[in-house]
Structure 1
Amino acid sequence: MEKTGDTQSCQNKNEEDIPKSSPFDFVIKQFQGKKSSSGKRKEQPSAIQKFFSGFDFGKSEGKERQEIEETEINNCGADDQSEKENLSVEDESSQLISEAESPPGEQRFNQFMQKLGKKPNSKNLDLNNCALSAADVTELASLLPFLPELEEISLSWNGCVGGTLKTLTAQFHHVKLLKVLRLNNCRLSAEDVTSLGEAFEIVPQLEELDLSWNSNIGGKLSLLTKKLRKGSKIKLLKITDCNLTAKDGESLAEILNVLPNLEVLDLSINKHIGCSMKVIAQDLKNVPGLKELNLHMCGLKQDSLQGLDTALQHLTALRKLDISCNKEIGGGFKDSTAHLASLKNLEVLDLHQCCVTEEDMSVLSQVIPLLSSLQELNLSWNKNIGVSSDPLLGRLRFLPKLKSVAISNCGLGMESFSSLAEAALHLPELEILDLSWNKCVGGNLKLLLGALKLATEIQVLRLSSCNLVAEDLALLTLLSHDGHLARLQKLDLSYNNTISDEGWMVFCQGLTVFKELSELDVSLRPSSCRACGTWFSELLAALTKLPALAELGMQRWVLSELQRKQLEGFNQDNKRNIRFDC
């Protein structure tokens, strides 16, 4: 209530500034001001002025007012003090006119936003992570009538919104143009969910609804979904990590037929939703325009995967499919990829940590190369990919539009790594390559030499825990000196304890060629520590010539007191803001 009080006191202050006088006093002073400015004669108050001073002019009729005005026009005297008062009144009059031109509601809104450190925007209300109080929400609700053009409301990461949402939604009839509503992590209650459902009829233009990270929604989704009506314009629906139950999944399935415009559906991190995935999949045919389906960590099982594959035949517009971190679908791909290959528009496929088996690999090796529009492929944390004899990695050459390939911790052997290196020669648009946690890369990075030369667009290279040696770092430095890797922005060399001090020295001496590098990580493994060698001075010297560098990871390198002071003083001395993670 403190902030509401501030607003009230501000209003009271404005009221006190308005002169407590009758309309006749105001008129008299205006005429006195005009005459005084022209004649500047000192005269005593006229008899008429003395006569009328005893009356309550606020109750006078129009005829009396006219007589007074005519009388005062004929009097032209005022002393210097009166002249100052007249000018003051005129200033106040101008101020009142100015305030009349600017609506009070707009002024209150501007003050409210400024109080929260935000710039006022009549179309986009962004109050994410503003530590809003219940009083703030109430005040905001009172301002909605003055924001008829409002299209976006973002109140995410404000826990006090929970329990007060009804106050806000009750005013939604004033913002009928609302298209986007974001309420992530607001601690929404059952009452909030109910009031939100009731508001759907008031905001028919709503296109995006994000309720992620509100755990209390679990088991109560029907309070929301039963209010949706056929023909809803919702295009994006995100309910990430809301503790959804199998019953919630059924409620969601029932409304898919009233969401014909749905393009993005995100149910990620709801471990119990997998039990109703078959039911949801049956109704996905009602959203043929779906472009993004996120089912990360949803507790999917093999039968869920089969139902999903059946639905894919109706989702020809799909651009992104994320079914990662569903370990129990491993072994189900062999019976559930009949329609995956038909997704000719698919650009992103995320299968990381799905416990893919060798049998699954046989099918995926046939299907994935047929996804001609694929740009991002994540197969990380599936160790059978590296040991399988099926040539999936070699067949990536048939996907020339690939921009991101993540094969971290896939147990790559020399054969599979060589296949990948050969396929990479046919990926000219590659921007991100993640080979972390594949030990065979160490000492064999030269196999990727040709691909790294051709990949002129590469921006991110992750080689964490790859058993790299000095020769590998020398290769990277050589590539850079020859003009390759010129666009590299992020380089992860962490957890490579196998690199000698001489290797770090060569690398640091050639580091300055990475002009666009913004992030560099050379940290050691958690279980080890090691003193910085003579290469530290080379690193420090290189930092001054890396204008884009913002983060440097050096965890578990033991620094001397002098070296620590040098790092601490670097930013100040060079007017930089590098975050040293030591």
Structure 2
Amino acid sequence: MSQTRKKTSSEGETKPQTSTVNKFLRGSKAESRKQNNDLKTTDSQPSDWIQKTATSETAKPLGLEMELRSSMEKNEHFLQKLGKKAVNKCLDLNNCGLTTADMKEMGEALEMIPELEELNLSWNSKVGGNLPLILQKFQKGSKIQMIELVDCSLTSEDGTFLGQLLPMLQSLEVLDLSINRDIVGSLNSIAQGLKSTSNLKVLKLHSCGLSQKSVKILDTAFRYLGELRKLDLSCNKDLGGGFEDSPAQLVMLKHLQVLDLHQCSLTADDVMSLTQVIPLLSNLQELDLSANKKMGSSSENLLSRLRFLPALKSLVINNCALESETFTALAEASVHLSALEVFDLSWNKCVGGNLKLLLETLKLSMSLQVLRLSSCSLVTEDVALLASVIQTGHLAKLQKLDLSYNDSICDAGWTMFCQNVRFLKELIELDISLRPSNFRDCGQWFRHLLYAVTKLPQITEIGMKRWILPASQEEELECFDQDKKRSIRFDHGRFQ
């Protein structure tokens, strides 16, 4: 699961009529108004706030009042320059191209926003090496709840500083340090600091260069993170083997709802240890074990014990080189996952010819919204089975169906499928694309597909890459596209 860059959304905004910092200080939440009732800032102007501050029990000299006003104006200018503003106690400066010169200004700006709860500095490489300068104003009692520092080129020294700062941030709930590979050198300091963040609910260390040793370091902190809801250790390819000595404290995460271990090079011994832990995380709702190819021959026990996770809503296990025995164990366990909404088995070739093992699961899955079977070596019998399940009224909640890269299905199979896909009334996306190296002529099933689309009120996109439409079918599609009442994208490249 890759991180994606967020774009700034405030470009071209007109200049605010009042200070954006003061707007922030006033806030828009009722809770904020209640906590700060003495300031009466909801309807007051910036000058009112300054006046009340100046006449407080620690009355400030006129010179200090002027200095305060000057600082606020300067910080307002700083935010306007970036096309940003503080809204509802949140300051989002992700992907702003912050310069080294901006770092000092930001340190001063944060000092003027004492009620700050959410700070996002992601995708700004100059943050690296300057984190102490930026966050030095955070002190014990800070109300900060979320800090996002994705791909900020953080250094080992930044990590050490952050580890020392964490005990001050008692309200912190979300910490995202993803795509900062150099912080692994200061992981001991970070783990030590995490022990004091008992309210932490989300910890993301995606693609941080974690190693086998890193797992053991983090494990010492897990026992203190009893409120953790989401743990992302994905895309750390050197992590494999780190779970071999049973991570005893991981089982302490009783409230954990999301566990992401995709592309972590998990070994057979890792899987054996996780078999003792994962089934005990009874509140788990999302589990991603994708792209761990060594799981194929060693995950039978783990997958069979997933039946003990009744709250599981998303199971992503694509590209794990599952074998016949492990797929059978998974199929038997999946029958018990009645809350399942996302089921991704893509790139597991053993599914082909064996989809019948999932027949009961498909019939009982009343909540299933996303089913991905891309590149599973499906055969005509598999897609005929799927068509039969759909025809009998099952999978009624399905919104996304991916059958792409299954080139062995004959035209008769696609015909059966397209004749019945019209019963998926909530379907939004369908992908039946061919592999990049393969091109085939569309059969008569395409007319059935066009007819089915007219019966699907929610459909917006149909992937058909590498399917070649003859001239007559091109004309039919063009006529269909001219219907302005529907906005449906047929992605087939219009190969002739």
Aligned to 1:311: 221
1:522 matches 2:432: yes
2:150 to 229, 240, 264: 240
The answer on whether the counterparts of 2:19 and 2:76 sit within 8 Å (CA) in structure 1 is no
Aligned to 2:177: 267
Deviation at 1:569, TM superposition (A): 3.3
1:539 to 441, 444, 449: 449
Q: 1:274 to 1:165 in 2, by over 3 A?
A: farther
Deviation at 1:151, TM superposition (A): 5.0
Q: Deviations over 1:248-292 (max 9, x none)?
A: 211211210211100000111122222222220111011110000
The answer on whether the counterparts of 1:166 and 1:195 sit within 8 Å (CA) in structure 2 is no
Match of 2:483, SS state, is: helix
Aligned to 2:357: 447
The answer on whether the counterparts of 1:170 and 1:199 sit within 8 Å (CA) in structure 2 is no
Match of 1:250, SS state, is: helix
Match of 1:200, SS state, is: helix
Deviation at 1:335, TM superposition (A): 2.4
Letter in 1 for 2:276: Q
Deviates more, 1:530-539 or 1:194-203: 194-203
The answer on whether the counterparts of 2:164 and 2:189 sit within 8 Å (CA) in structure 1 is no
Deviates more, 1:219-228 or 1:375-384: 219-228
1:477 matches 2:477: no
Deviation at 1:413, TM superposition (A): 0.8
Q: 1:264 to 1:336 in 2, by over 3 A?
A: farther
Q: Deviations over 1:202-246 (max 9, x none)?
A: 211110111111122122212112222221101011011112121
User: Going by fraction, where is helix more abundant, 1 or 2?
Assistant: 1
Q: 1:571 to 1:330 in 2, by over 3 A?
A: same
The answer on whether the counterparts of 1:351 and 1:379 sit within 8 Å (CA) in structure 2 is yes
Q: 1:447 to 1:255 in 2, by over 3 A?
A: same
Letter in 2 for 1:288: S
Q: 1:385 to 1:170 in 2, by over 3 A?
A: closer
Match of 2:367, SS state, is: coil
Aligned to 1:129: 9
Deviates more, 1:328-337 or 1:486-495: 328-337
Letter in 2 for 1:489: Q
1:144 to 8, 17, 20: 20
The answer on whether the counterparts of 1:178 and 1:205 sit within 8 Å (CA) in structure 2 is no
| Larger gyration radius, structure 1 or structure 2 | 1
1:397 to 307, 312, 329: 307
Q: Distance in 1 between matches of 2:329 and 2:248?
A: 26
1:375 matches 2:285: yes
Q: Deviations over 1:155-183 (max 9, x none)?
A: xxxxxxxxx97723599xxx999511111
Letter in 2 for 1:502: A
The answer on whether the counterparts of 1:197 and 1:228 sit within 8 Å (CA) in structure 2 is no
Match of 2:256, SS state, is: coil
Q: Distance in 1 between matches of 2:145 and 2:426?
A: 37
Deviates more, 1:232-241 or 1:561-570: 561-570
Deviation at 1:566, TM superposition (A): 2.9
Deviation at 1:436, TM superposition (A): 0.2
The answer on whether the counterparts of 1:151 and 1:180 sit within 8 Å (CA) in structure 2 is no
Letter in 2 for 1:144: T
1:412 matches 2:322: yes
Q: Distance in 2 between matches of 1:370 and 1:273?
A: 31
Match of 2:371, SS state, is: strand
RCO comparison, higher one (Cα < 8 Å, 6+): 2
Q: Distance in 1 between matches of 2:477 and 2:26?
A: 50
Q: CA RMSD in A?
A: 2.2
Letter in 2 for 1:407: I
Aligned pairs (5 A) from 1:141-540: 143-144=19-20, 147=23, 149-150=26-27, 167-168=77-78, 179-335=89-245, 337-388=247-298, 390-540=300-450
Q: 1:467 to 1:176 in 2, by over 3 A?
A: closer
Q: TM-score with structure 2 length normalisation? A: 0.84
Match of 2:119, SS state, is: strand
Could you list the runs of 5+ residues in structure 2 that have no partner in the other structure? 1-6, 30-73
Deviation at 1:477, TM superposition (A): 1.4
Match of 1:252, SS state, is: helix
Paired-residue identity, %: 55
Q: Distance in 2 between matches of 1:368 and 1:140?
A: 51
Aligned pairs (5 A) from 1:556-567: 556-567=466-477
Q: 1:307 to 1:518 in 2, by over 3 A?
A: same
Letter in 2 for 1:378: D
Match of 2:452, SS state, is: helix
Q: 1:561 to 1:176 in 2, by over 3 A?
A: closer
Deviation at 1:572, TM superposition (A): 2.7
Letter in 2 for 1:368: I
Aligned residues: 438
The answer on whether the counterparts of 1:306 and 1:336 sit within 8 Å (CA) in structure 2 is no
Deviation at 1:558, TM superposition (A): 1.3
Q: 1:145 to 1:373 in 2, by over 3 A?
A: closer
Letter in 2 for 1:382: N
Match of 1:334, SS state, is: coil
